[in-house]
Structure 1
Amino acid sequence: MFSGAMQASGRGKAQVDELLSQLTADLQNERLSAAQRKKLLENLKVLGRDPANSDSIFARQGIETLCEYGFEVAELDVSQEALRCLANAMLLQEKSRQYLLDLGYGDKAAERLRNDDRDDEFLVSRIIFLLTYKTTVNLQELVEKHELASSICRNLAGHADRLADSSSQPAHPMSDMAMIESLKLLFNVTARKPELSARFTGCVPDLFSILSRQKLPVPPLQVPVNSIINALMNMHITEETCPTETQTQQLVDILDRSMKAYPEAELDQAATPLLTLLRKIQESASPDVRKHMGGLLLPDEEARAKPLGQGESLPARLLRLSISPSLMNLRESISALLYELSDSNPTTFIHNVGYGYAAGFLSTHKIEVPESMMRADAQGADINPVTGQRLAAESGDSEPEMTDEEKEREAERLFVLFERLKATGVVDVENPVHQAMREGRFDN
């Protein structure tokens, strides 16, 4: 059986060598028709998916042959078939990427992206995307001399127009895949060269437009939604390029669905980019958009019938996650967003979320809190400053008896809140869980 596998691999290598030999020779003598060239490249693409067959493709000469077909040959279908072979080779073998650059085809790839063609967009965006990993690619030169930013922005504007026009003809079969490759390339370029982000500012409104018209997948933070969010996360957002209230509502809806769809263990990685984007938006948003966002994410007056953080509303779930010990990145992002939506004012922040939820963030960031905030009348209202609940609701609370599981969760929550309070040194309080255990009122 092992011998048979070796023989099959040997045949595959020999076939690849023969195909490349014919293609290389035809670059000189031009005896093959366009259809014959395409057929040879199709066969090479299939065989080249197996790395065991592909040593000659990965070699400098093999990459050079594919580059000449991909970027120099006039027949579009032949050229695109060669680009498919190149993209596969560059994915499978890192050294292939540097060979393409050494042969001078990085610049030609960027120039090829100017074509208004979805197959070209998909293939060339992927090739340049792969060049951003472990090569000497000069992204600044591709942007400044070869219009890479203009090409990406133009392609994304086309996708925004396509999605906005519901009466348009059926989309090109590659449209969605090409858009995703453009988004991935945009993210990598701006992540590796943040100083180039300003060159892509023009596509920010198109990115928000594309996102607002996407049918959300389940769970929501997967392609293309996460690709759009990741791309926007690196962008410079101004008041002129900020999303509308409707588009902001869509982002909050994605956050709401994500909190329900993903287990807590996955949220730290999956949802943090979205929180980062919402923070960027609120920083530059108009007063109306900012107020709208605060209304969606901060507890409202109705929530004060109970201690804040109880219930299944989005603000309540965010508050609970903001003190989760397992979500190091997400809890910081949530608290920072709610603090910023509170005008970055500690007094307003405590009023909005309760001192119990605010204490850890304020202490970590060494933000001083007026001692007067710990009085019940600190805001001129009948609100418990620690829990955020209305004092009148505390005395008239007629909630049904909690189950043992609910009591355990509440005890854990109170433990974390009061430990944060003690750590700040602002008030001298004893953790009620410790007190209950000492007095024999807590069953472990």
Structure 2
Amino acid sequence: MMALSAYLPLSSSSQRSLVAAVLDDITDAFLISEAERRDLISNLLKDLEDASRNTRNGRLFPEDAPRALLALKTLGKHPSGSAVIAQPANLSTLLSLSACTAFKDYPEASNEALRCIANAMLLVDSARSTWTTKEVGGGNASVKLLEKSTSPDRLFLASRLLFLTTVSSFDAGSYICSLVEEKHIVDTIAAKLDILIAAILSSTKMAKEAMVDLLKFAFNLLLHYPKLVECEPQDLKGKGPVTDKDQDEEDDDKVMGDYWSPKLEGLLPPLLRIFNTLPPTHPSPLAAPLTHAIHGLITIPMTPSLKQVWFGATPRGRTSSSRSSRSASLAGSQGNQGNQPASVPPSSSSSGSNSPTSPSSAPKHSTLERAFNALSAGARSLTRTPSPLTSPSKFDTVLRAYDLLDVSLAHFFPGNIDPDDQSVKDRCTAECGGDTTLDELIGPLVVLVTRMCLADESCRTRVRNLIVPPDLDRKSPLESRSDILGRCLRLLACVYHDRLKSSVGEMLFAMCDSDATTLSALVGYGNVAGFLFNKGIMNAPPANTSTTHDSPIFASGGAELNPITGTEVQKVEVPEMTDEEKEREAEKLFILFDRLERTGALPPSQNPIRKAIAEGKIPTS
């Protein structure tokens, strides 16, 4: 009870230095009983409320507010303390303190009051629903705070409050609907995300943290709102157009991505700007807030109305309904540049010759160079007014996703290392924390690439040509390559990264038009047999494995390919035998078959030597 006994004797006549010292002692105290903690919180809140009236006849004056609220926040970090703060009257008091004019000369006081509320909502679930009640009025206050804030620290606090409030659709369903339909929160989020992009690029303090929580809040809306209202059913389970039967089956258990509301479309452009413009991070290429942007993007469908926003006005590849026509077109693109999308760059996994997708005189760029070039272009675009929703995207999202995937796989699986090697797990633990796995880190990015391939044929063509370029060197085993193709094939055979393995398999399957024969022919049946078996597909390798005009395989020079490994068949030149060598080999065979006949292992009627002599094919002396 030392902290409480030191605080209660304070009065308006106490020296301010003594008040500050007592408050600092409360902040730094290690052992405070639950009863003392509750009493301290109650007294601090009452004294802060008195100080907000600026009467200067209580224990605390306005200048003491930041230090007192810091002590209150520290006391609230324990669940017993947060339970007191989470009471409606106390939440209402803290909300009024955050906007108190008496504390206007002490802006940190407002921030500390909001942090106290956020901590209580984090530790006490009931505080989240209490916050949005009319008695407290925190729901509307949070929206106004987000609308008015421009600095990263205030945006962080507003986003944190809104994120925690909307975690549960059961408790906050009506509030989520009002945010989207009445408060026009989507437009507010989009505007604030653009502010934070510029802040991150200029290395402003707290900008990343603010964007992370704002993206978490946006994800809650993307996740919950389509489930709460009547929305457009999407292509369920990859079965094509949704039927009434499909919809009835899914109505009882809506899954993320099954349903979509056009009212959320305004979130797509800022998410794409974040995805395409945030600079690479170190040491891991994938880190927050980029990972949170990816989580948001995979919830947004690539509907016909949104395709132009997703993919922009990139040139489209030639389309055809038949697989043979597509294969012929792809095979012909090796010698005809016009059949290939003009924006496809040379792949780092090619054999080293100029890619057929770009002029031979164009310089080749590495993956990192392309990523930095895209980043520079994206950063320049931020100086202009963001384009409206219906205008084409200025970014090459497909290439950006491929580059991020390539760099991320190369970072965590350097060279041709086995994905199950202990060093891979150690690196992930050291760089991303013990609770984060590569399934969680890289998996969503793979899912994003997969969804692009499923949604658009030109994307499938581009991704396929980037991962398995037409001029791929197939002389060595594909699964031993130290590029994105080799890493993907090795992941298909790994044990530890189960979800990432499945996601990579689905990506390769999607880029091959969801055709098992095309996938087997492209990378070898042996490399994908396990994945196809788990999908219930028992297709054997294609019968025709030579590179012809109608073959889906790209091999330079028309070389014959091994259907199991996907590599070129190396023809072994057998030297011509002399007559003496032929006689010696024939004599060895005669002795072997004679020995088998004598031991009873071979009946005389089945001895090929005796049969050849009887037919006169072998002369006898």
Aligned residue for 2:528?
A: 358
> Which letter maps to 2:266?
G
Give 2:492's match in structure 1, choosing from 316, 319, 322.
Answer: 322
2-structure distance, mates of 1:353, 1:129:
44
Aligned residue for 1:57?
A: 85
Counting only pairs closer than 5 Å after superposition, residues 18-37 of structure 1 correspond to structure 2 as 18-25=43-50, 31=55, 34-37=62-65
Aligned residue for 1:257?
A: 411
Residue 100 of structure 1 pairs with residue 254 of structure 2: no
Counting only pairs closer than 5 Å after superposition, residues 81-160 of structure 1 correspond to structure 2 as 81-102=112-133, 103-117=136-150, 118-134=152-168, 136-137=171-172, 138-160=175-197
Q: 1:318 to 1:184 in 2, by over 3 A?
A: same
Moved more, 237-246 or 67-76: 67-76
2-structure distance, mates of 1:56, 1:389:
69
> Which letter maps to 1:159?
L
Give 2:560's match in structure 1, choosing from 359, 363, 382.
Answer: 382
Q: 1:241 to 1:158 in 2, by over 3 A?
A: farther
Aligned residue for 2:296?
A: 231
Measured after TM superposition, the shift of residue 235 of structure 1 is 2.3
Alignment check: 8 A CA contact 2:467 2:485 kept: yes
Moved more, 208-217 or 116-125: 208-217
Q: 1:179 to 1:104 in 2, by over 3 A?
A: same
2-structure distance, mates of 1:294, 1:31:
72
Q: 1:372 to 1:306 in 2, by over 3 A?
A: closer
Alignment check: 8 A CA contact 2:200 2:208 kept: no
> Which letter maps to 2:41?
V
1-structure distance, mates of 2:402, 2:260:
29
Q: 1:340 to 1:8 in 2, by over 3 A?
A: closer
Give 2:223's match in structure 1, choosing from 171, 183, 191.
Answer: 191
Q: Which has the higher helix share?
A: 1
Alignment check: 8 A CA contact 1:374 1:386 kept: no
Measured after TM superposition, the shift of residue 74 of structure 1 is 8.6
> Which letter maps to 2:120?
A
| SS of 1:344 mapped into structure 2 | coil
Alignment check: 8 A CA contact 2:63 2:103 kept: no
Counting only pairs closer than 5 Å after superposition, residues 68-83 of structure 1 correspond to structure 2 as 68-70=96-98, 77=107, 78-83=109-114
Number of equivalent positions: 387
Q: 1:100 to 1:346 in 2, by over 3 A?
A: same
Q: 1:24 to 1:72 in 2, by over 3 A?
A: closer
1-structure distance, mates of 2:40, 2:210:
31
Aligned residue for 1:278?
A: 449
Q: 1:373 to 1:246 in 2, by over 3 A?
A: closer
Q: 1:248 to 1:7 in 2, by over 3 A?
A: closer
| Deviation digits for residues 72-124 of structure 1 (CA, Å, limit 9, x no counterpart) | 76966243332111112112222222221233322331232112422321001
| Deviation digits for residues 17-57 of structure 1 (CA, Å, limit 9, x no counterpart) | 21111234456x55367544444323322332344544432
Alignment check: 8 A CA contact 2:54 2:102 kept: no
2-structure distance, mates of 1:374, 1:74:
83
Measured after TM superposition, the shift of residue 307 of structure 1 is 2.8
Unmatched segments (≥5 aa) in structure 2: 1-28, 227-258, 312-394, 415-422, 429-436, 552-557, 574-621
Counting only pairs closer than 5 Å after superposition, residues 156-235 of structure 1 correspond to structure 2 as 156-162=193-199, 172-194=204-226, 195=259, 198-211=262-275, 212-235=277-300
Q: 1:116 to 1:68 in 2, by over 3 A?
A: closer
Aligned residue for 1:44?
A: 72
Cα RMSD over matched residues? 3.5
Alignment check: 8 A CA contact 1:58 1:89 kept: yes
Alignment check: 8 A CA contact 1:259 1:267 kept: no
1-structure distance, mates of 2:77, 2:186:
31
Aligned residue for 2:400?
A: 247
Measured after TM superposition, the shift of residue 334 of structure 1 is 1.0
> Which letter maps to 2:128?
R
| SS of 1:343 mapped into structure 2 | coil
| SS of 1:263 mapped into structure 2 | helix
Alignment check: 8 A CA contact 1:160 1:206 kept: no
| SS of 1:65 mapped into structure 2 | helix
| Deviation digits for residues 390-415 of structure 1 (CA, Å, limit 9, x no counterpart) | 112x648xxxxxxxxxxxxxxxxxxx
What TM-score do the two structures reach when normalised by structure 1? 0.75
Aligned residue for 2:510?
A: 340
Alignment check: 8 A CA contact 1:197 1:236 kept: no
Alignment check: 8 A CA contact 1:197 1:234 kept: no
Counting only pairs closer than 5 Å after superposition, residues 395-434 of structure 1 correspond to structure 2 as 395=572
Moved more, 320-329 or 359-368: 359-368
1-structure distance, mates of 2:188, 2:467:
37
Q: 1:74 to 1:108 in 2, by over 3 A?
A: farther
Measured after TM superposition, the shift of residue 382 of structure 1 is 0.6
Alignment check: 8 A CA contact 2:199 2:207 kept: no
Alignment check: 8 A CA contact 1:111 1:148 kept: no
Alignment check: 8 A CA contact 1:16 1:56 kept: yes
Alignment check: 8 A CA contact 1:290 1:341 kept: yes
Measured after TM superposition, the shift of residue 8 of structure 1 is 6.1
Q: 1:79 to 1:5 in 2, by over 3 A?
A: closer
2-structure distance, mates of 1:339, 1:17:
61
| SS of 1:91 mapped into structure 2 | helix
Q: 1:5 to 1:346 in 2, by over 3 A?
A: closer
Aligned identity (percent) is 26
| Deviation digits for residues 354-382 of structure 1 (CA, Å, limit 9, x no counterpart) | 1112333334434574x671454484851
Counting only pairs closer than 5 Å after superposition, residues 290-305 of structure 1 correspond to structure 2 as 290-298=460-468, 301-305=471-475
Alignment check: 8 A CA contact 1:183 1:231 kept: yes
Q: 1:373 to 1:367 in 2, by over 3 A?
A: same
Measured after TM superposition, the shift of residue 321 of structure 1 is 0.8
Alignment check: 8 A CA contact 2:48 2:65 kept: yes
1-structure distance, mates of 2:139, 2:472:
59
| Deviation digits for residues 133-161 of structure 1 (CA, Å, limit 9, x no counterpart) | 35611312211111222211111122334
1-structure distance, mates of 2:541, 2:83:
73
1-structure distance, mates of 2:487, 2:72:
53
Q: 1:217 to 1:227 in 2, by over 3 A?
A: farther
Measured after TM superposition, the shift of residue 318 of structure 1 is 0.5
Instruction: Look at both structures and tell me which one has the larger radius of gyration over its CA atoms.
Output: 2
1-structure distance, mates of 2:294, 2:84:
39
1-structure distance, mates of 2:279, 2:293:
10
Aligned residue for 2:40?
A: 15
